Chain A
């Protein structure tokens, strides 16, 4: 395969930047949506950016050692690596070299990075938070991996650009959400948990563990967590759009789709409190897993 180094370099720079900018707008949308449901006005347009700039402009007062500092690099590095492997209109060179399995692997890196950093802090709130985050990951990964397996079986490939191409060739009827609605539903529920939104928001839990992993994060560390949130929203919504909504034919439809996808968990999060940890695991291993298994069975029977 020929490598267009120039194009790849541009993608390496453009795609994380693009993901960050779109993620910022998603954060704004999520905060405005939440505010409307809560009968508030919500933050001004630039607020998510000002928050990050403010945090990055602060001096770090306390560090918890090298592991704490490296963990932030691991966290952001994992996120940035993910962004370049996601296929978006006009930029899918790296996506052709990686696939859904690469992304599933990379999606664990930020959480593990966070775990490394938080474990260096010795704050029980952080340790409990990260233990909860890893437990939640074990819970939501099961239905999520089944849905990815189902999509791979249906389309006969794990390559994300190829999955998009197949869906787009078949039109609306070819979309994953139409072809395998049960898997699409299971993935939507997994996405809610993946984003750490209620009722699966167990690892931040301000009233229980004082924001968990973020307890010892201040200044630039907290700013990095904010950036991670932008990347996380973008990644999950693009992955869902790729697998189930035919990807993006162009930038207009792509943006509409990913914003609609993000709006779903952001709305649902406002009508639930959080479950306890064991209830999250039990629920995710029961309902979305069962739905996903039935969906997988339906795909296998075709």
Chain B
């Protein structure tokens, strides 16, 4: 039984054919598509097709009060929302010349690293799933949930925390929270060898991921690649060390790099970064009890809070790369213009379109996921 409007389509004979990846695809953390042109199993051409998650964040932010935008920004990247709140808040603080209390800065650092841990755990699972290994996906998600439990305790929400606000954070650390965080970090450390056995050191994973979607350091710089994807090409650039914000200049940590620039290198860099994030969190846990004081600076009535004329660009090392907020004020109660510089814009469009060409059909999904792009960040 054919539909009434069925019309057979005659295509000219061709060695090449089109395959549509997405828009609901396990190869990416959201709705995003690729139009792939193939010859046999080899990719000839790729066209990124975004826009499925366009909600007009930047325009919406012009319509909301400075403080109201805190409810909007975490939605720009679901797996790693804290950098959105923090980067936007810091831009507003620069415009409003607000001094953030030291305790709030430590708590923000804590949240940023917790968010990085959740994002990387999610990534490990996702990358494995693109190769048909679902155990790792469920393990990653269930371990991520343990950190989300802590976020819920701290902020009242699991994903969209709306916890970091201009001037500081919404509330202080609950009693016993640091101990529970420390126990969770202990647990994650005990889980790493299991992840190694199952995923990172799995010979089939290595067989599949090594050499998939390679990128040279020169190409990475030319294409505006940042974050773990850049460090997987051997370039040790990390904003936390090269342009420190909050209290990162008081913390010790390494910048893991790999030289191969392929999907396996991108995954292994994130594995090392998870260890570094745990190390950073332990330092914050040790230091935070001795940092006393308020957790937020007093703010004026939000309805009549006019920020002075000017603009500010702030940037954060998110789990995906360099996240920037360019915020312009015309002296009103709302932003005049906000531009979000999401790292996924570069990774999911120009980089993905380039590095997938010449690769195999089997590798398209894992290359797409290995770049760890966040579609709403592209669409904004």
**Interface positions of A (Cβ within 8 A of B):** 34, 37-40, 60-63, 124-125, 128, 198-199, 201, 205-209, 270-277, 279
Contact = CB atoms under 8 A, between A and B. Distances in A.
B141 to A, nearest CB: 9
B26 A270 contact: no
Contacts of B134: 34, 38, 270
Interface of B (DSSP majority class): helix
Q: Which of B132, B137, B138 is the most central at the interface, judged by chain A CB atoms within 10 Å of its CB? A: B132
11 contacts: A38-B139, A62-B1, A198-B132, A207-B132, A208-B365, A209-B361, A272-B133, A273-B128, A274-B133, A275-B204, A277-B362
B27 interface: yes
A271 B128 CA distance: 11
A270 B135 contact: yes
A212 to B, nearest CB: 12
Contacts of A34: 134-135
Given A199-B204, A272-B204, A279-B207, A38 B362 contact: no
B361 A275 contact: no
A208 B365 CA distance: 6
B282 interface: no
Contacts of B1: 60, 62-63
A62 B3 contact: yes
Contacts of A61: 3
Contact of A273 (B2, B18, B204): B204
A273 B202 contact: yes
Contacts of B207: 275, 279
B135 A201 contact: no
Contacts of B202: 271-273
A39 B136 CA distance: 10
B361 A208 contact: yes
Given A208-B362, A277-B362, A39 B131 contact: no
B198 interface: yes
B208 to A, nearest CB: 6
Nearest to B138: A38
B131 A274 contact: yes
Interface in B20-41: 25-27, 41
Interface of A (DSSP majority class): loop
A207 B361 contact: no
Nearest to A128: B361
Contacts of A206: 26, 132
Contacts of A271: 133, 135, 198, 202
A207 B19 contact: no
Contact of B362 (A40, A270, A276): A276
Contacts of A207: 25-27, 129-132, 365-366
A63 B138 CA distance: 36
A61 B1 CA distance: 8
Nearest to B366: A207
A68 B365 CA distance: 29
Nearest to A274: B132
Nearest to A201: B132
B72 interface: no
B18 to A, nearest CB: 8
A39 to B, nearest CB: 5
B378 interface: no
B132 A273 contact: yes
Contacts of B19: 124-125
Interface string B333-361: 00000000000000000000000000011
Nearest to B130: A207
B171 to A, nearest CB: 32
Contacts of B205: 273
A34 B364 CA distance: 26
B17 interface: yes
Given A37-B135, A206-B26, 19 more contacts: A38-B134, A63-B2, A125-B19, A128-B41, A201-B132, A207-B365, A207-B366, A208-B130, A208-B364, A208-B365, A273-B131, A273-B202, A273-B205, A274-B131, A274-B204, A274-B208, A275-B204, A276-B360, A276-B362
Contacts of A205: 132, 362
A274 B363 CA distance: 11
A193 to B, nearest CB: 14
B208 A273 contact: yes
Contacts of B135: 34, 37-38, 270-271
